[in-house]
Amino acid sequence: MADMFEKWNKQINVNEYLDEIAEIEANGGQANFEEVPFGLYEVEVEKLELRASKKGDPMVSIWFNIIAGEKKGQKIFMNQLVLQPFQIYNTNEFLKQLDTDVDVKFTGNYSDYNNLMMDIKEVIDAEKLQYALEYSSNAKGYPQFKIMVVFEA
C-alpha cells in the first residue's frame, strides 16, 4: 500500500499543486482557468481515462496540455460520453488519430474499454508523443478535436 502512495507522490509537481489549491481556495472553490479559444495547438496528452460523467454515464476524458505558443501551460479538455453507438464510434475514430498502433475497438465491455485507454496512454508516454491539435466547433457549437500531426518529443 505504501508503494502506491509513493507512486502517486512521484506523479505530481507538489509546489504547482499547492499553488493551484491555494488559488482555488482564494477564488471560493472555483479554479481560475482562462478558456482556450478555438485554434491549432501543439499539445501533449496529460490524462486519458474512462470515467463517470456527472450523471454517472461512461465518458472518455482527455486532458491536453498546450506545450508551445502564447497559451503554453493551459489545458484543453475533451469529454465524450460513450453510451450510444455514434458516441463510441466518434471516440474510437479520435483515439485512432493518436497514432499509437493500439487496436482501437469497443468490445461491449467497459472494463476492456478502460484497459484500452490505459494501453493508449502507456504508448503515448513511452514514445513521448505530442500532437498538433485542431480545436474547433461543429455547426451546433460543440467542440471538435482533430489530430493534424503527430510528433515524437
89-115: pLDDT as tens digits: 999 999 999 999 999 999 999 999 999
- The pTM of the full predicted model, rounded to 2 decimals, is 0.79
Cell numbers found for residue 147: 489530430
Residues with Cβ within 8 Å of 117's Cβ and at least 6 positions away in sequence, in order, are: 48, 49, 50, 60
Q: How far apart are CA 130 and CA 29, in angstroms?
A: 32
Helix (H) or strand (E) holding 96: helix 85-97
Residue 14 DSSP label: H
Model pLDDT for residues 120-146, shown as the tens digit of each residue = 999 999 999 999 999 999 999 999 999
Q: Which of 13-17, 43-47, 89-93 has the lowest mean pLDDT?
A: 13-17
> Rounded to 10 degrees, what is the CA torsion of 60, 138, 70, 31?
-50
List beta partners, residue 147: 133
Cell numbers found for residue 109: 465491455
Buried b / exposed e over 39-75, threshold 16 CB at 10 Å, is eebbbbbeebebeeeeeeebbbbbbbbbbeeebeebe
Q: How far apart are CA 119 and CA 103, in angstroms?
A: 10
Cell numbers found for residue 74: 493551459
Q: Which residue in 94, 65, 99 sits closest to 82, CA to CA?
A: 94
Q: Tell me what pLDDT residue 33 has.
A: 64
